Structure 1
Amino acid sequence: MELLYENKQITQKMKKQNLLFFVLFCIVLQSCCPWCEDDVGGLPFESRYEPVFLSRAEFEQSVGVTNPLSIGTSGKIYVKGDFLFVNELNKGFHVFDNSDPSNPRSVKFLEAPGATDMAIRNDIIYINQATDLIAVEYVSESNTARLAKRIPSTFPELLSPDGFTAYDIPENSVVVDWKLKN
C-alpha cells in the first residue's frame, strides 16, 4: 500500500515537470515564429532612429571651441579645479567657470561631435568622441583647445537610443548621433 502511494506521488510530480517543460517549450517556439508580423510583442525589428554621419575628414577636424550654448540633452558632469564640464550628448561639452559654485558662469562650448564621456589628467582632456579616443589641451586663459592626439577606432560605433547598430555606413564615415525618424 505504501509503495503504491509513493508511485502515485512520483507519477504526479513527473506530470507537473512534463507540463512545465511543455509550456516553456511553447514559449520558446513562439519567440521564433517566422510567420508573425514585423512587430512581435511591441519589440521593433528596426530602429526608430536614423544615424547622423560625418565624413572621417570632417569628423577629425570637428573639435573646437565655440561660444556658449544652452544645455539641451545633458550627459555626464565633470569638475576639475574651478571648471565644470557638462556633456551635451553626442555634441560636446559646456564649459563653466565654477569658481563661485553657487553661480557657475557659462564660458565656452567644447565642440566634439559624438562625444559621450571625458576624463582629465595633467590638464589634458581625454574624450570618447564616437569611435575615437582624443586628447585635447584646453587653455583656460584664452579659452582655446588644441587636439593633441587622436586614436581612431578605439570604441564601437554609437548605438541608437533604442539599442540598434547602424547599417550601410558610407565608406570613410562615422556615426556621430541619431535622430528620430519622421
Structure 2
Amino acid sequence: MKNFSKLGLVIVLLLQSCWWYSDDIDDTIEPFDYSQYEPVYLSREMLENSIALENPKPIYSSGKIYIKENLLFINEIREGFHVFDNSNPQNPIKIKFISVPGATDLAIRNNALYINQATDLIAAQLSPDLSTISVTKRVKETFPELISPDGYYPYDVPENSVVVNWNLKND
C-alpha cells in the first residue's frame, strides 16, 4: 500500500508538471481584429473607363516622382498623377492632372505611360499637346489586390469590382 501511495504521488507530481499555468492569463477574450479602414470599390467597367485628363488640382498625398524631358509627374496616391511643365526646374508649372483611380506608380518608355491601376497594368498615350490621353493596352490582375493601410485584405468584394482605395472608418 505504501508503494501504491508513493507511486500515486509521483504520478500526480509528473502530471502537474505538464499542466500549464501562468499569472499572466487574462480571462477576457480579445475581440477579432478588424481593419480601421473600409475599402473603396469601383466596378470593373468603371475602372476601365476612369482614366481622364483634368485641370490641375492641389497635391494632398504625394507619392513617387517621375521626370521625362520637360515634364514632371507626381503621384497623388491612389488618385492619379499631377503633370508639371518642368522647363524651368526652379519654377515648375502645373498643367494637368491625369485621373487614374488606384494608381501608385508610373514608368515611361518611348512616350508610353505604364501605370499600375489597382490590380491592372495599363499602357497609355498622351497626345503631344497634352489635351488627351488614351489607354492602348490593359493587362488585368497583374498586381495583387490592394490591402488596407493597416495590413488587412478586403472581404466580401462585390463581383466584378476592384478595390481602388481605403478610407478611414468614422466609428
Q: Normalising by the residue count of structure 1, what TM-score does the alignment of the two structures yield?
A: 0.77
Structure 2 residue aligned with 1:109 = 97
Q: Distance in 2 between matches of 1:139 and 1:62?
A: 18
Q: What secondary structure is seen at the aligned counterpart in 1 of 2:46?
A: helix
78-87 or 136-145: bigger deviation: 136-145
Please give the residue correspondences for 1:11-50 in structure 2 after superposition, counting only pairs within 5 Å. Answer: 36-38=29-31, 45-50=33-38
Q: Does 1:158 align with 2:146?
A: yes
Closer, same or farther: CA 137–26 of 1 in aligned 2, 3 Å = farther
More helix by share: 1
Q: What is the one-letter code of the residue matched to 1:145?
A: I
Closer, same or farther: CA 81–38 of 1 in aligned 2, 3 Å = same
The one-character-per-residue Cα deviations of 1:30-84 (angstroms, maximum 9, x if unpaired) are: 8xx9963127xxxxx1110000000000000001100011001110000110000
Please give the residue correspondences for 1:129-148 in structure 2 after superposition, counting only pairs within 5 Å. Answer: 129-148=117-136
Please point out which of 89, 111, 115 is paired with 1:127: 115
**By how many angstroms is 1:162 displaced?**
0.7
Structure 2 residue aligned with 1:69 = 57
Q: What is the one-letter code of the residue matched to 1:173?
A: S
Structure 2, unaligned stretches of length 5 or more?
1-19
Q: What secondary structure is seen at the aligned counterpart in 1 of 2:29?
A: coil
Q: Normalising by the residue count of structure 2, what TM-score does the alignment of the two structures yield?
A: 0.82
Q: Distance in 2 between matches of 1:155 and 1:116?
A: 12
Structure 2 residue aligned with 1:42 = none
Q: Distance in 1 between matches of 2:147 and 2:21?
A: 32
Q: What is the one-letter code of the residue matched to 1:76?
A: K
The one-character-per-residue Cα deviations of 1:143-168 (angstroms, maximum 9, x if unpaired) are: 32111000000001111111111000
Q: What is the one-letter code of the residue matched to 2:149?
A: P
Identity of aligned residues (%): 54
Closer, same or farther: CA 163–173 of 1 in aligned 2, 3 Å = same
Q: Distance in 2 between matches of 1:142 and 1:117?
A: 19
Please point out which of 71, 80, 94 is paired with 1:92: 80
Closer, same or farther: CA 112–34 of 1 in aligned 2, 3 Å = farther
Closer, same or farther: CA 103–119 of 1 in aligned 2, 3 Å = same
Structure 1, unaligned stretches of length 5 or more?
1-24, 40-44
Closer, same or farther: CA 173–104 of 1 in aligned 2, 3 Å = same
When Rg is computed on C-alpha atoms for both structures, the one with the higher figure is 2
Q: What secondary structure is seen at the aligned counterpart in 2 of 1:57?
A: helix
Structure 2 residue aligned with 1:4 = none
Q: Number of residue pairs matched?
A: 150
Q: Distance in 1 between matches of 2:82 and 2:166?
A: 20
